[in-house]
A and B are shown apart, each in its own frame.
Chain A
Amino acid sequence: MHFIETQHKRIPWRWIILLQFLGSARLLALFASGSMTFTMRKYIESPFILNSVSTLDILFNLVIAAPCLYYSDRIWTRFGRRLPFIVTSFVVLGTVILLLPLAGNAVPMGVLIVLWLIFWDLGATYDILVMEIVPPEQRIRSQAIGAWFFQAIILLSGVVIAGRFDDVVNAVGITLSGEMLIYWWGAACLFFCTLILVLFVRERKPIGPIEPSDSGGGIKGPFLELFAQKSLWPVYLLVFGTVFMGTGLGNFDALLIFDQWGYSKQDMGTNMFVGGMINLFIAIPLIAYFTRNMDKLKMFTIGVVGGMIARIAYYIFVQFYLPDQRPTIGHMIFFGQLQSMIGQFSGIALMPLIFDYIPRDKMGTAQAGMNLVRSITRMITLNGLGIWVTLYSFWFMPEGTYNYFSGYLFMIMLDFVGLAILVYFAWKVRTGVIKPLGVTEFRPVEETGGAATNQPRID
């Protein structure tokens, strides 16, 4: 059988390899879309507008991806329930990225980028489709194969693709710019995905009735429900604090290296490649070794405070130690890896720690609520960063130049705010006001004398 289908108990490993090809092609298109910062920079000067565009992604995540995910559970068409969303998304994305390098000015470019962000979120059901194809017992190995493919993509993107943006090749009477090459390569990847999905992937109708779509007023009901649960407010506070501390430069990261520090896009690719290799062969094994027996609160504290110290150290090093306030690629890799390694401590500990404070019967609601809080907070911080860099540059920089590195000052301030929130949270936990309900209220089935079955809960 040459069709890949959903709802099998066991599937051939060749299907998994093919799904990884598909996933990798989708990721390559996503990596290609990373060059949109440079495309926007061609027409847009203002850092505020540049970062605002990237926050639209978060907005569409809320208003497009969430409803698509919700309704894909509740519909059935002759083409399936996930495929119609994904195929529509990939066709439009492929067309958008094909046209993007031909946009002659800011308006069509802006429209195309917004379309890209909207239709990327329309295809959010892709991951669920893959999970429906790969049965649970084969998912771990599938993920492991996927991780290997992911590293290969980083290598390819860093070494071959990232540095091509400014290149021009004149051959067979055609002038091909690097921008065209990158986006059209991304489009080829998306059309490759579309062809595979249309020609070789089939959804099979699952047993049982489709879930009704009447959960209290469409999608508005669940959104309101998220904040009605008072027991989840401390969790949202914790998430709020951690997002503050995890804010990055966003689009400015590339502009800082390229525009402000004068490195080439190939240097950026080298940074990405070497960093990825260090991460793969040194950082991840080291973290796994150090964290094997560590308490998660301790891990989280090391991650949060250490990350903040590393960021401050980087700022001081560049701003006050380096004579020309311009780090080398080696410095960038060193501090980048330092922050990434320390960040992994909190990354590993964060979710288990958060779930300690979530009652078992509210995990789904909490997850949705956390996503919402995370998205809204990220939107606020990224826009704040854009305004900060614009104002800082307006006040302190020569006309027409931007100091993207000043964003680190904003990030450090957010770090302090986030730390204050986390200290407040810890104090409330110590005084017993916030309780780890996920731990204290949990009674294993064995203790309650019940059978370990999938019986639904009866309240």
Chain B
Amino acid sequence: MPPFLRLSILPLIGCAFLLSSVIWSQRELKLRFLGQAVDGQLIGMVLQRSETADILAGIDTDLLLTLANGDRIQANYSNYELRTSRILPANAEPEGSANPSADPATETESNPPPATVPLTESIQTTLDLVVRGNADIVRWALLRETRKSPDPTRVIRIEKTEIIKGYLDVTKIPEVFDLKDGKLVLAKNEIESPNAGEIRIHGVFDVTDAELLKTQRGNSLIDYSYARNGVIVKPEKKNFFLFAEPYSTQFRPIFSFEANGVAVARLSHIGRHGGPTLALRLYKPCRVFYDKANPEQAFVSAISGPVGKDPLDWFSRFCEGLFGQWGSTALIALAGLLFIVTGLVFISLAIFPSRKIVMAPGIEG
């Protein structure tokens, strides 16, 4: 092979890789450097399976915590935001969701959100973890509380009910969604969508019955149900909505932002297999880069926030956000650079050969 051809192979492949990385992220690079940046919010999640998808447009969560002294704490959340909390004495009946149709969009000055009672820091921490957490998080929370024995205010039972409102078994997922009163809708006129539906998941975790706990080999989940539009089904995993899917299910967040005074909702181009995206958390703020001329062209970027108490956790979040977005581009470009730099070193050896080479005596050249 002629030396020129031999020496040009590596740089050429390297350039091809670099070009591929630019083509691969062309849209995002353009929006990142030439687009408009605004704050946005993650307002939904698409659970994309091989044929169909479920679209989460809203989630109500009811938590009922039973303490060792018999008191109960009822907390109701809408889109992971605490709407009401009550302390129920031992004999009082728990009420249903205090504000089942709680919708921040419908709250006005004359219709403020219901007041909440102050809770202890420990209980508040447990609630914060459990409301977003999967079944394992609830188990661990209960296990931590159990170790507090004989504290009468320790939590001994957690009931969690999730009501997911959205669209089920959707066959065609739109890239851009509509917003109705700030709420995510699949079609402009919701009546037209036959896919609108509801999923209700109920899980009870209890450590009071030692015998039952032993029979279940330490598993505190004593009751579980998953209903799609009222029909009980068996999910892949006995878990809450975002954690009950098989690994093959792709989770893609939907984000909203305001462009030129108009609210836009769009499906993210990045997602995760088997569970929700880690850096892009549902109903948390995010950064959006969009094209001013065509606001539907936008991409979402994670905000890692302040370092806080746990720098390692922050570092993980930061890397997850940064490389979840740019990791593939960076690796393709890095492969290109590896080829180019190596090719250039070989070219330098051909143009400026080293005089340091000393032949070992008696070796065949």
Residues of chain A whose beta carbon lies under 8 Å from any beta carbon of chain B: 1-2, 7-15, 17-18, 21, 25, 42, 135, 156, 159-161, 163-164, 166-172, 175-179, 181, 185, 188-189, 192, 195-196, 199-200, 204-207, 262, 264, 266-267, 269-270, 274, 323-326, 328-330, 333, 396-398, 401
Contact = CB atoms under 8 A, between A and B. Distances in A.
Contacts of B342: 18, 21, 192, 196
Contacts of A15: 349, 354
A401 B136 CA distance: 11
B140 A266 contact: no
What range describes how many residues of B lie at the interface? 35 or more
B263 to A, nearest CB: 23
A195 to B, nearest CB: 7
Contact of A326 (B140, B274, B354, B363): B140
Nearest to B147: A323
A181 B327 contact: yes
Interface string B240-259: 00000001001010000000
A181 B360 CA distance: 44
B269 to A, nearest CB: 5
Contacts of B10: 195-196, 199
Given A2-B350, A172-B26, A10 B357 contact: yes
B210 interface: no
B320 A266 contact: yes
Given A1-B354, A163-B327, A167-B328, 9 more contacts: A11-B354, A14-B354, A21-B345, A163-B319, A166-B275, A168-B273, A269-B319, A328-B312, A401-B219
Contacts of A185: 331, 335
A205 B23 contact: no
Contacts of B360: 7-9, 135
A270 B312 contact: yes
Contacts of B356: 10-13
Contacts of B347: 2
Nearest to B237: A400
Given A18-B346, A264-B278, A270-B316, A177 B273 contact: yes
Given A2-B3, A166-B272, A397-B218, A17 B345 contact: yes
A169 B272 CA distance: 8
A135 B9 CA distance: 28
Interface string B75-91: 00000000000000000
Nearest to B141: A324
Given A8-B358, A269-B319, A326-B140, A188 B335 contact: yes
A176 B271 CA distance: 10
Nearest to B335: A188
Interface of B: 1, 3, 6-7, 9-10, 13, 17, 23-28, 134, 136-137, 140-141, 143-144, 146-148, 216-219, 247, 250, 252, 269-275, 278, 310, 312-313, 315-316, 319-320, 323-324, 327-328, 330-331, 334-335, 338-339, 341-342, 345-350, 353-354, 356-360, 362-365
Nearest to B248: A42
B32 to A, nearest CB: 13
Going nearest first, the 7 A-B pairs with the smallest beta carbon separation are A12-B354, A398-B219, A324-B140, A323-B147, A323-B144, A2-B350, A10-B358
A269 to B, nearest CB: 7
Contacts of B136: 262
Contacts of A397: 217-218
B363 A206 contact: yes
B141 A176 contact: no
B6 to A, nearest CB: 5
B9 A199 contact: yes
A396 B144 CA distance: 20
Nearest to B133: A262
A209 to B, nearest CB: 13
Contacts of B348: 14
Nearest to A179: B273
A404 B98 CA distance: 42
B338 A192 contact: yes
B222 to A, nearest CB: 12
A135 B354 CA distance: 16
A199 B12 CA distance: 14
A359 B136 CA distance: 57
A167 B23 CA distance: 19
Contacts of B313: 329
Nearest to B13: A195
A176 B327 CA distance: 12
Contacts of B278: 264, 266
A154 to B, nearest CB: 14
Contact of A160 (B144, B146, B269, B323): B323
A14 B217 contact: no
A199 B6 contact: yes
A207 B365 CA distance: 11
A2 B7 contact: yes
Contacts of A323: 143-144, 146-148
Given A8-B359, A329-B313, A25 B338 contact: yes
Contact of B363 (A200, A204, A324): A204
A171 B25 contact: yes
